[in-house]
Structure 1
Amino acid sequence: MIPRTEHQPLMSVEEFEELDRRAPELVRLEFIRGKVVVKPMPDGNHSEIVAWLQRLCMQHRPDLWLHAERGLMTEGYRKGRARADGVLVPRGAFKGHGEWSAPDGALMAVEVTSWDSDAAQRDRVDKPDGYAAAGIPVYLLIDRDNCSVVVFDQPDNGHYQHEEKLPFGATVQLPAPVDITLDTAPLKELAD
């Protein structure tokens, strides 16, 4: 048996998708950097944060829709599979798609940290790199651990070149092509 290294995935994307199809409904799987990851089920505050962001996106950009819990083909050569907490796209962008969509047309990916031990690595390192490699222009991280909002943009060569971190309560400008201003004061009540 050949030992696995960091650059060798545990399985192929096709094997992962078959595993995902056979997983029980209560288990949400992702394939991040060649590893199978179990994504935690969202708690009530997590869901409220996504709903809050959906309302704001509808108010400011009615031409777009923030899809919750959308499966995306990420990373280089679309070899990763991430279930984004939110994906901002033009209305109808996912029409006719299966469970996993190419990131074409995605303007922003959103993650809200969960209360699990892997959140720091997954949401702060692995997913930003995967979304940047997929060419998604903006990644918004709502970090409940640090009570902050982090905006990543300018994807290039598998990484976001710009990152801005602001505390809950700050006014956050989501850059082009999103062009939405967020008053994050309501997040203070949803940090737990």
Structure 2
Amino acid sequence: MTPRTADRPQPQMSIEEFEELERRAPEMVRLEFLNGKVQVKAVPDGETCSVTVHAEPEDGVYRAVTTRPFGAVVELPDPVGITLETEKLKDYVD
């Protein structure tokens, strides 16, 4: 069961803000992570046709890393707490 929006912690920044920050200042993204603002990160990889979820940041590294193939159901842990259907990602790779 997915928690109601009101029950979830509010994000520190939107996905769009994070992507813009990552594009303009990759080192700043690392600092944001170190400050504990990036709790969960999902990274799609078109070369391997997979999604890697990084979670549980501690001392500058993610302690939990899980990789699933495109098409799998991917669970993003709290504080995000959602399920991603990745089947459509197959449409974006050759």
CA distance in 2, matches of 1:191, 1:177: 29
Q: How many residues align?
A: 81
Q: Which residue of 1 aligns with 2:70?
A: 168
1:133 corresponds to which of 22, 30, 34: 34
CA distance in 1, matches of 2:80, 2:66: 15
Q: Is the 8 A contact 1:132 1:160 kept in 2?
A: no
CA distance in 1, matches of 2:62, 2:68: 17
The percent of aligned pairs where both chains have the same amino acid is 34
TM-superposed CA distance for 1:173, in Å, is 0.5
Q: Higher Cα Rg: structure 1 or 2?
A: 1
CA distance in 1, matches of 2:77, 2:86: 16
Q: Is the 8 A contact 1:140 1:152 kept in 2?
A: yes
Q: Tell me if 1:159 matches 2:56.
A: no
| Unaligned residue ranges in structure 1 (runs of 5+) | 1-59, 83-129
1:169 counterpart SS class: coil
Q: Please list the CA deviations of residues 81-133 of structure 1 after superposition, one character each: whole Å capped at 9, or x if unmatched.
A: 34xxxxxxxxxxxxxxxxxxxxxxxxxxxxxxxxxxxxxxxxxxxxxxx2642
Q: CA RMSD in A?
A: 2.9
Q: Is the 8 A contact 1:152 1:160 kept in 2?
A: yes
Relative CO higher for 1 or 2, CA cutoff 8 Å, sep ≥ 6?
2
Task: Determine which structure has the larger strand proportion and give its number.
Answer: 1
Q: Which residue of 2 aligns with 1:81?
A: 28
TM-superposed CA distance for 1:67, in Å, is 1.5
**How does the TM-score come out when normalised to structure 1?**
0.37
| Unaligned residue ranges in structure 2 (runs of 5+) | none
